[in-house]
C-alpha cells in the first residue's frame, strides 16, 4: 500500500485527483451515522423504527436526514408498500454493496489499530 501512496505523492497531478476522490468518498460515507445505518440495513433492519432502535444515540431527526441524503447518493432505496399506505422500507442498493470490501477492510484496520495502540 505504501508503494501506491508513494506513487500518488510523486505526481502532483495524481495527488490532486486522488485527494478529490478521497474527499468525494468521505462526503458520501463519512460522518458519524452513515456506516452504522448501512450496517443496520444490511443486517436486516428495513423499517425506520427498526433502524432507529438498532443504532444507539441516533435521533429520529438525524436518521431521517441521513436516510434522505443516502437515498440521493443512491446508497439506499426507499420502497413504499402499495398495500399499506404508511409502510416504508429501506434497502441497500447494489451500488451500496459495491463498497462492502472497503467496510470489511476498515473493520480489519480498526482491529489492528486497537491492538497496536494497546500494545498487543
Per-residue pLDDT of 55-81, as tens digits, reads 999 999 999 999 999 999 999 999 998
| 97, three cell numbers | 454493496
Q: How far is CA 41 from CA 5, 27, 82, 118, in A?
A: 33, 20, 21, 32
DSSP 46: -
Pair 88, 48: CB distance under 8 Å:
yes
User: Over the range 63-94, which residues count as b (16 or more CB within 10 Å of their CB) and which as e?
Assistant: beebbebbeeeebbbeeeeeeeeeeebbebee
Whole-prediction pTM value?
Answer: 0.77
Element (H, E) at 94: helix 94-97
Q: Which domains does the chain have, with CATH numbers?
A: 31-110 (1.10.10.10)
29 band by pLDDT with thresholds 50, 70 and 90: confident
Residue 92 has pLDDT above 70, yes or no: yes
pLDDT at 11 (0 to 100): 67
C-alpha gyration radius of the chain: 18
d(CA 50, CA 70): 17
Amino acid at each position: 500500500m505504501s508503494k501506491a501512496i508513494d506513487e500518488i505523492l510523486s505526481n502532483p497531478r495524481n495527488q490532486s485527483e486522488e485527494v478529490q476522490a478521497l474527499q468525494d468518498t468521505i462526503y458520501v460515507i463519512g460522518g458519524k451515522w452513515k456506516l452504522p445505518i448501512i450496517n443496520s440495513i444490511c443486517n436486516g433492519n428495513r423499517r425506520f423504527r427498526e433502524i432507529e432502535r438498532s443504532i444507539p444515540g441516533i435521533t429520529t431527526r438525524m436518521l431521517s436526514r441521513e436516510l434522505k441524503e443516502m437515498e440521493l447518493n443512491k446508497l439506499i432505496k426507499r420502497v413504499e408498500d402499495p398495500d399499506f399506505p404508511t409502510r416504508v422500507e429501506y434497502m441497500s442498493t447494489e451500488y451500496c454493496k459495491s463498497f462492502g470490501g472497503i467496510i470489511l477492510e476498515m473493520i480489519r484496520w480498526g482491529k489492528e489499530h486497537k491492538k497496536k495502540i494497546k500494545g498487543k
